[in-house]
Amino acid sequence: MKTYSTREAAKLLGIGMMTLNRHIAARKVTVPPVQHVGGSRFRAWKKSDVERVRKQMLRIKDGRRTRGTV
């Protein structure tokens, strides 16, 4: 089974890694658990994890302001 890094998952979602990390920190999306190997910590994303987040992203409002909006 192929797994993806958080950077690769963000690329598959069509967003930047920092954007995905902000959504993770704000708990707007569910993510795979952190794995520990040696002294490193990482998330191993499966295709199903990426697809689940893709569906959750549809419900997240765009936080950017548009011109003329205060």
Helix (H, G, I), strand (E, B) or coil at 26: coil
* C-alpha dihedral sign at 7, 25, 3, 62: negative
Torsion angle, alpha carbons of 46, 47, 50, 54, to 10: -160
| Helix-helix angle 17-25:6-13, to 10 degrees | 100
Domain spans, the chain: 6-57
pLDDT in tens, the chain (70 residues): 899 999 999 999 999 999 999 999 999 999 999 999 899 998 999 999 999 999 999 888 776 666 665 5
Question: How far does CA 56 lie from the centroid of its chain?
Answer: 10
What is the model's pLDDT at position 59? Answer: 86
The pTM score is: 0.80
